[in-house]
Amino acid sequence: MPDSNSSMSPTITSMIRLDHMHVLTAFHRYHPDTAWWRKRAIVNSVCAALEIHAQLEEEIFYPALGGVLSEDQTLEKSRPEHDEMRATIAKLRATGPEDAAYDGLFQQLMREVMHHVADEETVLLPTAERALKDELRSLGAKMTRRRLQLLGERPREIAVNTAGTFPVATFLLGSLLVIGATHCLPKSRRTRYAD
């Protein structure tokens, strides 16, 4: 019987789809005429998200799916595709936005990711939803715990790159947090800050 925490968790397949959507959204923010600092933030944000995503899949999702599937070609080629993405990420990190090859390398990474995402979303995720249906939430809870550990290893990097990738959303979220925090303060302290 699943514990209450895992029964409230999103399914692992939903989390994987959300990761895909996040990375693809960031990809669409990148343009050749984007300011160099924003290019760097977008690339770093995408690379960190892909590294964490790949590690989560390799540690949790692929072993669970491999345990219920006998030889699946899409699953078998997933790890080598991750390795290709890691190689492209290493090349991107070795260059910078001022390098003429930077835009092309990022486009290459986009193509690799889109191919990988298409395979996962059309083959692996539907297969997992059938084969692992009773475990999807507990696997999602396990993925959430591990993701928090991985994010905790580089909080500043994630925050800075997210702010550069999604500056308007970051500003709005920050404003809402400040407004919310001021409403949580006792009235006597709010009055003091308003003066």
Tens of pLDDT, residue by residue, the chain (195 residues):
445 556 678 999 999 999 999 999 989 989 989 899 889 989 999 999 999 999 999 999 999 999 998 788 889 999 999 999 999 999 999 999 999 899 999 999 999 999 999 999 999 999 999 999 999 999 999 999 999 999 888 777 777 767 777 766 655 655 556 666 666 666 655 555 555
Measuring CA to CA, how many Å separate 186 from each of 76, 177, 179, 195?
Answer: 57, 16, 13, 15
Q: 108-121 burial, b if ≥16 CB within 10 A, otherwise e?
A: bbbebbeebbebbe
Determine contact, residues 57/33, Cβ cutoff 8 Å. Answer: no
Tokens found for residue 113: 């990711």
- Residues of the domain holding 117: 4-166
Q: Is residue 126 part of a domain?
A: yes
Write down the pLDDT at residue 142. Answer: 96
Report pLDDT for 2.
47
Q: Does 35 reside within a domain?
A: yes
What DSSP character marks residue 133?
T
pLDDT of residue 173: 59
pLDDT number for residue 146: 96
Alpha-carbon gap, residue 18 to 33, rounded angstroms = 28
Residue 183 lies in a domain: no
Q: What is the pLDDT of residue 51?
A: 95
Kindly state whether residue 84 falls inside one of the protein's structural domains.
Answer: yes
Q: Tell whether 181 is covered by a domain.
A: no
> 187 in a domain, yes or no?
no
Q: pTM (2 decimals)?
A: 0.78
Give the per-residue pLDDT at 1: 43
Q: How many domains does the chain have?
A: 1
| Predicted local confidence at residue 138, as pLDDT | 96
Asked if residue 180 is part of any domain, the answer here is no
Residue 114 lies in a domain: yes
